[in-house]
């Protein structure tokens, strides 16, 4: 019912199971000194539950229809594919690698992610990212840390994290950037207005811009 390798370090050892998903963890990797309780829920599932919950989900994504959200995920998946990682497009062929399932508990591929989007499995960016991370975890477990397949898998997940972050910042801006049906798409108003400012980059004059996110420090 559960994976064999720690979700965080991707190695074997004494691991503890999540109540809701197949992921397992070393106590040390969790930064704990005591054993988790029997019905323990892992950090990955906690993040997904929080993101999926109507009371705690992103206010911006709450304004987006489920159909539109799935469209955003499809665009994100296209950008994950554009990295050029054909190795992750389809599930690993176990006739070529017969011992694959001896090590990999939950096979994942870009085509599986696409199928899940069509089935409307994902209710949040966190849920989609959590599944995408299996691509890297499985590559690390089966191929090792320094294998080129593992490095490529890390790139896929990195792109996924970036795209999910962009969707969270402003779903409307993300959709406009992907479709670009209007040459002035960047000027189109969003459901949540952005403050307008004059911005300047080194070597360029001041230019009108909009604030998508403000961070302290």
pTM for the full predicted model: 0.91
Phi, psi of 2 (to 5 degrees): -135, 160
Q: Tell me how far apart the alpha carbons of residues 5 and 50 are, in angstroms, rounded to a whole number.
A: 25
Q: Tell me how far apart the alpha carbons of residues 119 and 203 are, in angstroms, rounded to a whole number.
A: 48
> What is the four-CA torsion angle of 63, 65, 66, 72, rounded to 10 degrees?
-80
Range of the domain at 26: 1-41
**175-195 pLDDT, tens digit each:** 999 998 888 888 888 888 899
Residues 101 and 33 in one domain: no
Which CATH number fits the domain that encloses residue 33?
A: 3.30.40.10
**16-71 pLDDT, tens digit each:** 999 999 999 999 999 988 888 889 999 999 999 999 887 888 888 888 999 999 99
Q: Tell me how far apart the alpha carbons of residues 165 and 145 are, in angstroms, rounded to a whole number.
A: 26
Residues 179 and 94 in one domain: yes
Domain total in the chain: 2
**140-187 pLDDT, tens digit each:** 999 999 999 999 999 999 999 999 999 999 999 999 999 988 888 888
Strand partners, 199: 207
């Amino acid at each position: 019912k559960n994976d064999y390798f720690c979700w965080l370090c991707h190695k074997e050892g004494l691991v503890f199971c999540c109540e809701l998903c197949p992921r397992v963890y070393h106590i040390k990797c969790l930064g704990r000194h005591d054993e988790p309780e029997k019905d323990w829920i892992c950090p990955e599932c906690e993040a997904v539950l929080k993101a999926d919950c109507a009371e705690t989900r992103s206010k911006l994504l709450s304004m987006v229809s489920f159909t539109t959200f799935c469209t955003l995920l499809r665009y994100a998946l296209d950008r994950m594919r554009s990295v050029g990682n054909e190795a992750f497009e389809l599930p690993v062929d176990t006739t070529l690698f017969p011992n694959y399932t001896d090590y990999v508990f939950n096979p994942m591929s870009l085509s599986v992610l696409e199928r899940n989007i069509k089935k409307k499995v994902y209710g949040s960016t966190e849920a989609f990212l959590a599944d995408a991370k299996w691509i890297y975890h499985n590559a690390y477990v089966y191929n090792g840390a320094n294998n080129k397949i593992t490095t490529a898998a890390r790139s896929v997940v990195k792109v996924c994290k970036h795209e999910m972050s962009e969707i969270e910042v402003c779903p409307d801006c993300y959709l406009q950037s992907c479709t670009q049906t209007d040459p002035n798409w960047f000027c189109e108003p969003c459901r949540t207005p952005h403050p307008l400012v004059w911005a300047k980059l080194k070597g360029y004059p001041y230019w009108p811009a909009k604030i998508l996110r403000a961070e302290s420090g």
